[in-house]
Amino acid sequence: MVTPFASDGSVSYEMAEKLAVHLVEHGSDALVVCGTTGESPTLTWEEEFRLFQVVHGAVSGKAKVIAGTGSNSTQEAIEATQKAAALGLDGALQVVPYYNKPPQEGLYEHFRAIAVACPELPIMLYNIPGRTGCNLAAETVIRLAELPNIVAIKEASGSLDQASHIRAMTPPDFALYSGDDSLTLPLLAIGGRGVVSVASHLVGDRLQAMIRAFELGQVSTATQIHLDLLPLFKGLFAMTNPIPVKAALELQGWAVGTVRPPLCPVTEAVKSQLAEVLKDLAGS
């Protein structure tokens, strides 16, 4: 979920509440708050915890709320995750530590320490080497999946081979989620559960329909939905996420504001491209 900002750059908690309800009413079973798309690097912990509370209050009983409490400091991640657990949230998203590039044993100990410190909270690992500079190897994920409250991974390495290895060597109840909208359908084919999505802000119902069709064995229907949505999937990454998705939401009348520095506003070329894609989807 994006983090809406007011014109002065402050967090718009009122808009966050409205957007959360909208997303749940249009295909989202759960919301990740303060992840990559939520611009977590430029939010303060105070802003993040208030967002957790606001979104949880808005959708409690209707959808799960997963808190982005990862950090490249193990102790900071533990403290943030403990606070999220105390708020009664449903889970925590733990990104691979960025910048410090730990070896695999360091990654294992990082996630294990968080899981042990917060045994009551389900944890979703988040592997996105394009942003963190460090890949969480399949073998490390397999070890971590043995811990009782590490229950899922958002896999955004772009490697179906790596995802397949994880699926083959982890228990069936360990959930594999796509971290890339365009790879959701291929990941479902190798045993994935769903997607932690950017495009769901705009086409959540269609994504839900694609996944349901695949689960019902209606593969050609799922494939057609995927192909119809592919231009949007690509358009939303024409610039660094979440620049395009916030621009697309604004085009659809959602006053979510722009992004915080060091991200910059969308270019007119990308905005025009998004407007054309959204127009085509509205007519299909």
Residue 150, beta-bridge partner list: 123
Structure tokens at 67: 């808190």
3-class secondary structure per residue, the chain? CCCCECCCCCECHHHHHHHHHHHHHCCCCEEEECCCCCCHHHCCHHHHHHHHHHHHHHHCCCCEEEEECCCCCHHHHHHHHHHHHHCCCCEEEEECCCCCCCCHHHHHHHHHHHHHHCCCCCEEEEECHHHHCCCCCHHHHHHHCCCCCEEEEEECCCCHHHHHHHHHHCCCCCEEEECCHHHHHHHHHCCCCEECCCCHHHHHHHHHHHHHHHHCCCHHHHHHHHHHHHHHHHHCCCCCCCHHHHHHHHHCCCCCCCCCCCCCCCCHHHHHHHHHHHHHHHCC
Q: How far apart are the first and last CA of the chain?
A: 25
- Return phi, psi of residue 62, to 5°: -115, -30
Residue 133 backbone class (left: φ over 0; alpha: ψ -120 to 50; beta: rest): left
- Per annotation, catalytic residue among 126, 177, 246, 271: 126
154 is catalytic: yes
- Per annotation, catalytic residue among 13, 154, 246, 271: 154
Which residues are identified as catalytic? 126, 154
